Amino acid sequence: MSQQLTLALSKGRIFEETMPLLNAAGIVVTEDPETSRKLILQTNDPGVRVIIVRASDVPTYVQYGAADFGVAGKDVLLEHGGEGLYQPIDLNIARCRMSVAVSAGFNYASAVRQGARLRVATKYTETARQHFAAKGVHVDLIKLYGSMELAPLVGLSDAIVDLVSTGSTLRANNLVEVEEIMQISSRLVVNQAAMKMKRERLQPILAAFERAAAATL
Ligand code: ATP
Ligand code: MG
């Protein structure tokens, strides 16, 4: 069996914030995914390659063993369910929070108090469902794939569940954060079979990731 390792990453903040961790493991990606159109990137280590996939597809590639390991946000992992994945390390990168937001004029507390049925638009339907069920709030969930901020502005929904870091996108669209659901960071996920079969190759990399992630706290 080949001991080649494949790491699944998404472009953007996860790729950028994973690079220092990879470097700490002695691995340097020799191509830039932003300028190259390649989806398979080589590294200075002939035994390690990086594949570039959509953020929400990282758990799927790792679950089926098309990638041995990957980096995915807690938001993405909760929606995926984590089946077939080891989640050994919180890398503490790509930090943000998942929150409920509404239009500035909407009285969220009063709507919840009165037991009104709330229309909630989100990409994170699984997490939203659990959050509102735990609070005993009745919701109609509307699945979206992006630009959630628009939904309350045009009357698609009363509220959104979305990721927030600085809050500037919410402010720019006259929305107010009314509830924090959870803190989000990205985690390393490892294919369960690879964890057994490729342990010798994976272990030093996981250890380096863990040390580097702890050093940034
Ligand atoms: P796509 O753009 O392919 O639809 P995405 O928007 O989920 O997917 P990114 O924007 O690259 O992809 O986000 C990747 C991960 O980074 C998210 O899953 C989340 O964990 C984290 N993230 C998203 N938004 C922020 C943010 N504003 N600040 C910090 N981390 C964030
Ligand atoms: Mg995005």
Indicate if 85 and 189 belong to the same structural domain.
Answer: yes
Mean pLDDT of 25-33: 95
Q: Which ligand minimizes its atom distance to the CA of 11?
A: 1
Q: What is the CATH number of the domain that holds 206?
A: 3.40.190.10
Instruction: State residue 1's pLDDT score.
Output: 46
Indicate if 88 and 126 belong to the same structural domain.
Answer: no
Retrieve residue 212's tokens: 């580097």
Indicate if 194 and 171 belong to the same structural domain.
Answer: no
Indicate if 175 and 124 belong to the same structural domain.
Answer: yes
Indicate if 179 and 189 belong to the same structural domain.
Answer: no
Mean pLDDT of 144-161: 98
Indicate if 63 and 20 belong to the same structural domain.
Answer: yes
Indicate if 191 and 180 belong to the same structural domain.
Answer: no
pLDDT (tens digit, 9 = 90+) per residue, 59-106?
Answer: 999 999 999 999 999 999 999 999 999 998 999 999 999 999 999 999
Indicate if 107 and 118 belong to the same structural domain.
Answer: yes
Asked whether 22 lines ligand 1 (CB < 6 A), one says: no
Asked whether 79 lines ligand 1 (CB < 6 A), one says: no
Indicate which atom in ligand 1 lies nearest the CA of residue 12.
11
Q: What is the mean pLDDT of the chain?
A: 96
Phi, psi of 2, rounded to the nearest 5 degrees: -65, 140
Asked whether 70 lines ligand 1 (CB < 6 A), one says: no
Q: How confident is the model at residue 172 (pLDDT cuts 50, 70, 90)?
A: very high
Q: How would you label 33-49 residue by residue, b for 16+ Cβ within 10 Å and e otherwise?
A: beeeeeeebebebeebb
CB 145 within 8 A of CB 158: no
Indicate if 129 and 88 belong to the same structural domain.
Answer: no
Indicate if 67 and 174 belong to the same structural domain.
Answer: no
Asked whether 54 lines ligand 1 (CB < 6 A), one says: yes
Indicate if 161 and 205 belong to the same structural domain.
Answer: no
Indicate if 83 and 138 belong to the same structural domain.
Answer: no
pLDDT (tens digit, 9 = 90+) per residue, 104-125?
Answer: 999 999 999 998 899 999 999 9
Name the residue at shortest CA distance from atom 13 of ligand 1: 55
Domain housing 45: 5-94+185-215
Asked whether 184 lines ligand 1 (CB < 6 A), one says: yes
Domain tally, the chain: 2
